[in-house]
Amino acid sequence: MPEWEKQYSWQRLKDDLPARESFLAESQTFIRHVASQACFRSLEWGRDDELSEALIAFNEAIDLFVEDKGVPFLAYARVLIKRRLIDYHRKQRLRQSISIDQDDLGRRIDVHLGLDDFREQEQNLERAEEIRQFSKALLTFKLTFQDLVEVSPKHRDSRETLLRAAQELAFDPELWQQVERKGKIPMQALGIKTQIHAKVLERGRKYILAVAMLLANQNDYVYLREYVLPRERGAKG
């Protein structure tokens, strides 16, 4: 469960302007990440108009999102951002080629994509791309999906313990830098930080590393992280 879901209910985000503005501000990293990927270059707030377009699409996603449709919000917002940017660049190309009123720019992509129109095929394409990216990332640590199936904890207590370790690993910049630099978990440092027994950490090493990869790169894996993280919701305002 994304951390922001502990702070905001969807009804509050739709009705409470200050809450929405706070959520939009907190989501700027995700918005910039998705927009930069869609544009194939690094974008900066205050410099690139594409980020303003992406922010508009993200705000529209809040209005259109329905919680019980079985689609992660960030996956839905990601598609709206990409669609709006495709439309934006299409308009820019037309403006560069001919002088024409905006109303006459021709058929545009519908960025007001309702969840009922967010069809299963489109969701499957998004999931498949995440799986492809994650499989490639796992290989850099000599891991496969089959490894994860074999080492995934069967009991809830064990799973929660290893999830806690993965969260500590992913969100501690110094620890995660060591993972990226050396290609392995700094087990002693993680044990000190989490106070989890070394044998427990060692048995769950592959699982911890894979989950930490999802969390450290959570803007790329909005579907996969839904499968891994607990579904229970925290208190909401």
Kindly report, residue by residue over 74-102, the tens digit of the pLDDT.
988 998 898 889 888 887 776 555 444 44
Quickly state the pLDDT bin for 230 (edges 50, 70, 90).
Answer: low
Q: Could you give phi then psi for residue 75, rounded to 5 degrees? A: -65, -40
pTM exceeding 0.75:
no
Model confidence over 129-165: pLDDT tens digits? Answer: 888 999 999 999 999 888 887 888 888 899 999 999 9
Q: Is residue 168 pLDDT above 90, yes or no?
A: yes
Q: Could you give phi then psi for residue 142, rounded to 5 degrees? A: 60, 40
Angstrom distance (rounded) from CA 111 to CA 157: 43
Tokens 């129109």 -> residue: 117
Mean pLDDT, range 13-42, rounded to an integer = 92
Nearest-5° Cα angle at 76, 75 to 78: 65
Among residues 32, 231, 224, the alpha carbon closest in space to that of 123 is found at 224
Percent of the chain with pLDDT over 90: 47
Q: What is the overall mean pLDDT for the chain?
A: 82
Q: In 10 A of CB 219, how many CB atoms?
A: 17
Amino acid at residue number 66: V
DSSP collapsed to 3 states, the chain = CCHHHHCCCHHHHHHCHHHHHHHHHHCHHHHHHHHHHHHCCCCCCCCCHHHHHHHHHHHHHHHHCCHHHCCCHHHHHHHHHHHHHHHHHHHHHHHHHCCCCHHHCCCCCCCCCCHHHCCHHHHHHHHHHHHHHHHHHHHCCCCCHHHHHHHCCCCHHHHHHHHHHHHHHHHCHHHHHHHHHHCCCCHHHHHHHHCCCHHHHHHCHHHHHHHHHHHHCCCCCCCHHHHHCCCCCCCCC
Model confidence over 179-221: pLDDT tens digits? Answer: 999 999 999 999 999 999 999 999 999 999 999 999 999 889 9
Q: Could you give phi then psi for residue 214, rounded to 5 degrees? A: -65, -45
Please tell me the predicted confidence (pLDDT) of residue 57.
Answer: 93
Sign of CA dihedral 70, 227, 84, 23: positive
Quickly state the pLDDT bin for 56 (edges 50, 70, 90).
Answer: very high
Nearest-5° Cα angle at 221, 14 to 226: 65
